[in-house]
Amino acid sequence: MSTELPLEGIRVADFTWVGAGPFLTKPLADHGADVIKIESRTRTDPIRSMAPFRDGQAGINRSGYFANRNSSKRSICLDLKHPEGNRLALELIAQCDVVANNYTPGTMERLGLGYDTVRRVRPDIIYLDMPMQGNSGPHRDYRGYGLTIAAAGGLFGLSGYPDRLPVGTGTNYPDHVPNPLHGAIAVLAALRNRRRTGRGEHIELAQLESTVNAIGPALLAASAGQQTERAANDDPVAAPHGVYRCAGDDKWCAVAVFTDAQWRSLGSVLGAPEWTSRADLASAKDRRNARRALDVLINSATQTWDADRLAAALTKEGVPASAVLDADALLNQDPQLRARNHWVRLDHPVMGPSIYDGIPYGHSRTPGRLRGPAPLLGADTRDVCLELLGMDPETFDSLNQQGVVG
Amino acid sequence: MTLTPTTDGPLEGVRVVDLTTGLGAYTGRLLSDLGAEVIRVEPCGGAPERNHAPRTDDGISFSFAFTEAGKQSLIADSSDGGNAAQLEHLLDTAQMLLTSEGPGLLRAKDLHPEDVTNRHAGLVHVSISPFGLTGPYADRPASDLTLLAAGGLLGLAGDPDREPLRAWGNQTSVIAGVHAATAALIALLSLESTGRGQVVDLSVQESVAHSLENAAQYLDLEGVVRKRVGAGPAEAGTGLFQCADGWVYLVGGLGGRPLAWQSIIDWLTGQGIDEAETLGADKWQERTWRRSREGSSTFRVIFEKFARTRTKQELYESGQGRGISVAPVATPEDLINDPQLVARDFFRNIDVGGNQLRFPGPPYRFANSHVGPRSGPPSLGSIGAPEAGAAAGPGYERTPA
């Protein structure tokens, strides 16, 4: 079995920062691409200054938020506004297969690193822009963060209890799911196409457009004149379907009943088979109509159960169920994640051994792996300048003293 | 964007056999958008997801229409011996197989990835399953809601005084789909350079656990277990605000620090909200005041006095025009009419059972290639089966890469 990583030989000039962009280049890096983050010493990536920090002490090399999305990468510092820094960036790009950035529209052009310039030094480059609203249109210069994109993109407003304000997912969902991973898909597809045709690609991922796809079915409904409303934990098909209170402080179990057989099993596990013989609850439609009353019945039956035991008992009888796991359960208790060695502990030079999200899939023949912890700011500048750009040590030292590299 | 697009997609020449349930269905949609030929295999009566509510007036499921756009449909029932042989023949001509059930169910259909890739050495079997192919829960029944719970995202959403809350729609299909398509393309690159297929074993639970922002790291580094906190961090200037026709989401502060604060003051005073001048006091620069209940509610009263007289769209455009990070809490109807999406020709009119529906365009635009949904969901059996044992027929002329 080969130990070679599947993306070995691919090099990425990574100008992405903050949330979404670095989670795009992470899967590339974890599968063998040489991802070189181009950072600034004077305007550091804001996420390097965001909690959580090792032992709660802030520092640009101590953030777990930053570290988790930058495994397996290298970091160099360049002053892109200095002519020599700009020249070095283009020299580096000439040796890269992919350029990725998530700056606001026009930034890369102002830095002299826009697609048309880059294409001259590397005609078959795969170049990805990741603006919030797109490179064109009346809102192209609008600004935002993960939560404003979730709001503008529709998922936030649809997620919530019908009798209260929307609540969204509790996370910057667009930064963690649709935007980075749609971006990774686009880059990989373009790499495949380049291999076939020799042509590069200019990809524009407008984060709003990407996020809107997460609620695609609701847009189709709207275009057919049908409204979609917040529905808490209801499901259009399954009932009962909800998150029920279990024994202990803030313990819950999610349960989904799609079929008559699951309905009978739920009744028998909860020791209430009389429900399942009620004629007015015999069909899925009946149960959906009675779902509020059923939620009350089920909550009264689940509150004495341990959530994990209830999930085990229900799933054994074919009913989809799971305890609502928090970070402690996920990291320290869940037997499934433990059996699959999901979490990865990497020894970071400043943070020490720290937890990183594992890759949620495995390739049987060409598995990826987290090859190393997040890089310290500028840790690889010298190596990249000397080994990749062929700079001599004296020139490096001189540019370093001027603050152009370092 | 100076190059001329071609009608080819970047995955031209790739054939994908799609045997997924709703959990895996978005994966094939993404590959189809990129130019792969994706063949949805269905039982004689059609996939049950075809009829899931909510539906068009003609009974076509919106979620099915969305995830199946651009695919072909082939009728083949794996419980029928003749059809099973046809499926094997089809897999010989394909580069990828997508499934989304656990190992026990797959084995019962003779579709366990180990067996499939033994029979078809040049095939990538992308196995999306609730908990992965191994481990004590591998065959546990699961659904969107229970996988959000098992992966930890459900526990981060909702109000603290209420039950944890599901994100709208089948987000596990999106979460699994984007990771699975990424993994599938990594395997395709390897297949096309070595001729060798393999198994991709994707766990939806793990994919959800990859979406928790910084929750795992908060526990590891600071010993803090993150809990659900309603609509977001409690800070003056940040969060949901009522306006004339709904809500806007304003980010006037992050991490206890004000953002574009003077612009917000100018915005409000310019509209005659005199109280806004009090927001210039020093305490509004302080983290403890900004994060206090009193600070938050004082700001809210002042801001909503203005916002309640304006629409989402007015606040969006006038606020952003001043460099303030404000966004509408958009409804699907708002999005269909969003000036930015409309100006960029984002939506595509596609026929679904005789009705023109407006599909969102693809998540990305390629200057050089054709990308995005090309047609609606296939009618049941839109392509015919090849005859058992016969050479590849029309539509099956491709050979493995």
Residue type, A95: Q
Candidates B55, B162, B340, B345, partner chain A, best to mutate (most A CBs within 10 A): B340
pLDDT at res. B1:
44
Taking only the tens place, the pLDDT of each residue in B214-262 is 999 999 999 999 999 998 668 999 999 999 999 999 999 987 889 999 9
Range B137-153 average pLDDT: 98
Let me know: does B311 contact B244? Beta carbons within 8 Å.
yes
Q: Does A131 touch chain B (CB under 8 A)?
A: no
| Interaxial angle between packed helices B261-270 and B293-307, expressed in degrees from 0 to 180 and rounded to the nearest 10 | 40
**B40 neighbors B71 (Cβ within 8 angstroms):** yes
Q: Taking a contact as any Cβ pair under 8 Å apart, which residues of chain A between 218 and 237 contact chain B?
A: 218-224, 226-228, 230-233, 235-237
pTM: 0.96
Report pLDDT digits (tens) over B27-54. 999 999 999 999 999 999 999 999 999 9
What's the average model confidence in pLDDT over B149-170? Answer: 97
pLDDT tens sequence for chain A (406 residues)? 446 899 999 999 999 999 999 999 999 999 999 999 999 999 999 999 999 999 999 999 999 999 999 999 999 999 999 999 999 999 999 999 999 999 999 999 999 999 999 999 999 999 999 999 999 999 999 988 878 999 999 999 999 999 999 999 999 999 999 999 999 999 999 999 999 999 999 999 999 999 999 999 999 999 999 999 999 999 998 999 999 999 999 999 999 999 999 999 999 999 988 888 899 999 999 999 999 999 999 999 999 999 999 999 999 999 999 999 999 999 999 999 999 999 999 999 999 999 999 999 999 999 999 999 999 999 999 999 999 999 999 999 999 999 999 8
Chain B residues in contact with A331 (beta carbon < 8 A): 216, 219-220
Q: In the 8-state DSSP scheme, what is residue A348?
A: E
Mean pLDDT of B74-102: 90
CB-based contact A213:B29 (threshold 8 Å)? no
pLDDT at A356: 98
- Whether the per-residue pLDDT at B393 is higher than 50: the answer is no
Facing residue for A336 by CB, picked from B131, B169, B231: B131
Closest approach of chain A CAs to the CA of B385, in angstroms?
Answer: 29
A152 and B12 within 8 Å at the Cβ level: the answer is no
Query: Taking the domain B15-213+344-360, which CATH number applies?
Result: 3.40.50.10540
Residues of chain B with pLDDT > 90, as a percent, come to 88
pLDDT number for residue A276: 87
Region B354-379: mean pLDDT is 96
Tell me, yes or no, if A319 comes closer than 8 A to chain B by beta carbon.
yes
Task: Supply B233's token pair.
Answer: 């961090």
**Selected residue of A266, A336, A356 to mutate for chain B interface (largest B Cβ count, 10 A):** A336
Report the 3 state secondary structure along chain A.
Answer: CCCCCCCCCCEEEECCCCCHHHHHHHHHHHCCCEEEEEECCCCCCHHHHCCCEHHHCCCCCCEHHHHHCCCCCEEEEECCCCHHHHHHHHHHHHCCCEEEECCCCCHHHHCCCCHHHHHHHCCCCEEEECCCCCCCCCCCCCCCCHHHHHHHCCHHHHCCCCCCCCCCCCCCHHHHCHHHHHHHHHHHHHHHHHHHHCCCEEEECCHHHHHHHHHHHHHHHHHCCCCCCCCCCCCCCCCCEEEEECCCCCCEEEEECCCHHHHHHHHHHCCCHHHHCCHHHCCHHHHHHCHHHHHHHHHHHHCCCCHHHHHHHHHHCCCCEEECCCHHHHHHHCHHHHHCCCCEEEEECCCEEEEECCCCEEECCCCCCCCCCCCCCCCCHHHHHHHHCCCCHHHHHHHHHCCCEC
- Looking at residue B386, its pLDDT comes to 56
CB B179 to CB A360 under 8 A? yes
Q: At what angle do helices B144-151 and B171-194 cross, to 10 degrees?
A: 80
Cα dist. A191→A325, B33, B181 in Å? Answer: 38, 16, 14
- Those of residues 260-289 in A touching chain B at CB distance below 8 A are none
Residue B394 has pLDDT above 50, yes or no: no
Asked if this assembly's ipTM is beyond 0.95, the reply is yes
Q: Quick one: which of A264, A266, A265, A287 has its CA closest to A277? A: A264
By CA distance, what is B241's nearest residue in A? A165
**How many angstroms separate the CA atoms of B151 and B211, rounded?**
9
Rounded to a whole number of angstroms, the distance from the CA of A279 to the nearest CA of chain B is 24
Q: What amino acid is encoded at A74 in this protein? A: R
Statement: residue B391 has pLDDT above 60: no
Lowest-pLDDT choice from A231-245, B3-17, B92-106: B3-17
CB contact under 8 A, A52 and B175: no
Cβ distance of B206 and A339 shorter than 8 Å: no
> Which residues of A belong to the active site?
175
Domain ranges of chain B: 15-213+344-360, 253-324
Spatial neighbors of B352 by CB under 8 A, at least 6 apart, are A220, B56, B60, B65, B376, B377
Ordered domains of chain A (ranges, CATH): 11-214+341-402 (3.40.50.10540), 241-331 (3.30.1540.10)
Give residue A3's pLDDT.
67
Average pLDDT of chain B? Answer: 93
Q: Please report the pLDDT score of residue B256 as a whole number.
A: 84
